[in-house]
Amino acid sequence: MGSSQKASLFSDLADIPLDPHYALKESFRADTHPDKVILGSGLYRDDDSQPWVLPSVEKAEKIGKKTEDSGRYEYLPISGLESFVSAARTVLFGPLDGKENRVVSLQTVSGTGANFLGAQFLAKTLKPSAVWLSNPSWVNHANIWGLAGINVKTYPYWDAKNKRLDFERMISKLETAAPGDVVLLHACAHNPTGVDPTKSQWESVADVCERRGLFPFFDCAYQGFASGDLAEDAWAVRHFLKRDTLEMAVAQSFSKNMGLYGERVGALHLLCGTAKAAMKARGHLSRFQRGQVSQPPRAGARLAATILSDPELFQDWLLDLRKMSGRVEKMRKALYDELIALRTPGQWDHIVSQIGMFSYTGLTPEQVASIQENSHVYLLKSGRISVAGLNSRNVVYVAHAFDAAVRKHPF
pLDDT tens per residue, range 310-343: 999 999 999 999 999 999 999 999 999 999 999 9
- Over the range 332-363, which residues count as b (16 or more CB within 10 Å of their CB) and which as e? bebbbbbbeebebeeebebbeebbbbbbbbbb
Average pLDDT over residues 129-154: 96
In sequence order, the β-bridge partners of residue 360 are: 384
Q: What DSSP element (H or E) covers 334? A: helix 311-341
Number of helices (H), then strands (E), belonging to the chain: the values are 15, 13
Average pLDDT over residues 13-35: 88
In sequence order, the β-bridge partners of residue 384 are: 360
Using alpha carbons only, what angle is made at residue 22 by residues 191 and 330, rounded to the nearest 5 degrees? 45
Q: Would residue 138 show up in a list of annotated catalytic residues for this protein?
A: yes
Dihedral of CA 237/238/239/245: which sign? positive
Tell me the angle at which helices 82-93 and 235-243 cross, rounded to the nearest 10 degrees. 90
Question: How far is the CA of 62 from the CAs of 51, 55, 145, 251, in angstroms?
Answer: 19, 11, 39, 29
Residues near 270 by Cβ (< 8 Å), separated by ≥ 6? 103, 104, 105, 118, 121, 247, 248, 249, 278, 281, 285
Could you read off the pLDDT of 375-398 as tens digits, one per residue?
999 999 999 999 999 999 999 999
pLDDT exceeds 60 at position 3:
no
Residues near 190 by Cβ (< 8 Å), separated by ≥ 6? 134, 157, 196, 356, 358
Tell me whether strands 215-220 and 182-186 are parallel, antiparallel or unpaired.
parallel
CA distance 30 to 406: 25
Burial class (CB in 10 A: 0-12, 13-18, 19+), 48: exposed
Q: Confidence class of residue 21 from pLDDT cuts 50, 70 and 90?
A: confident
Question: Which of the following is catalytic: 52, 132, 138, 202?
Answer: 138
Q: Would residue 153 show up in a list of annotated catalytic residues for this protein?
A: no
Do you find a cis peptide bond into 410, omega within 30 degrees of 0? no
196 in Cβ contact with 68 (< 8 Å): no
Question: Which of the following is catalytic: 196, 219, 233, 403?
Answer: 219
pLDDT exceeds 60 at position 131:
yes
391 in Cβ contact with 49 (< 8 Å): yes
Could you read off the pLDDT of 207-230 as tens digits, one per residue?
999 999 999 999 999 999 999 999
pLDDT at 126: 95
pLDDT exceeds 90 at position 7:
no
pTM of the model: 0.94
Could you read off the pLDDT of 296-313 as tens digits, one per residue?
999 999 999 999 999 999
Q: Would residue 46 show up in a list of annotated catalytic residues for this protein?
A: no
pLDDT at 72: 86
Could you read off the pLDDT of 223-250 as tens digits, one per residue?
999 999 999 999 999 999 999 999 999 9
Could you read off the pLDDT of 146-190 as tens digits, one per residue?
999 999 999 999 999 999 999 999 999 999 999 999 999 999 999
pLDDT at 5: 61
Over the chain, what is the mean pLDDT?
Answer: 95
pLDDT at 265: 97
Flag the least confident range among 22-31, 103-112, 203-212, 215-224.
Answer: 22-31
Q: Confidence class of residue 17 from pLDDT cuts 50, 70 and 90?
A: confident
CA distance 411 to 163: 13
pLDDT exceeds 90 at position 23:
no
Q: What percent of the chain has pLDDT over 70?
A: 99
In sequence order, the β-bridge partners of residue 246 are: none
CA distance 333 to 127: 45
Dihedral of CA 398/403/409/411: which sign? positive
CA distance 114 to 95: 22
Q: What percent of the chain has pLDDT over 90?
A: 91
pLDDT exceeds 90 at position 69:
no
Question: How far is the CA of 70 from the CAs of 73, 74, 76, 113, 186, in angstroms?
Answer: 7, 8, 14, 28, 40
Q: Confidence class of residue 71 from pLDDT cuts 50, 70 and 90?
A: confident
Task: Give CA torsion, residues 33, 34, 39, 44, to 10 deg.
Answer: 140
Tell me the angle at which helices 299-309 and 82-93 cross, rounded to the nearest 10 degrees. 50
- Over the range 229-242, which residues count as b (16 or more CB within 10 Å of their CB) and which as e? bbeebbbbbeebbe
CA distance 74 to 216: 35
End-to-end CA distance of the chain: 55
- CA neighbours within 13 Å on the CB side: how many for 42? 25
pLDDT at 70: 83
Per DSSP, the three-state class of 135 is strand
Tell me whether strands 182-186 and 131-135 are parallel, antiparallel or unpaired.
parallel
Helix residue ranges, H only, 251-310: 275-292, 299-309
Question: Which of the following is catalytic: 196, 256, 320, 403?
Answer: 256
pLDDT at 218: 98
CA distance 291 to 216: 25
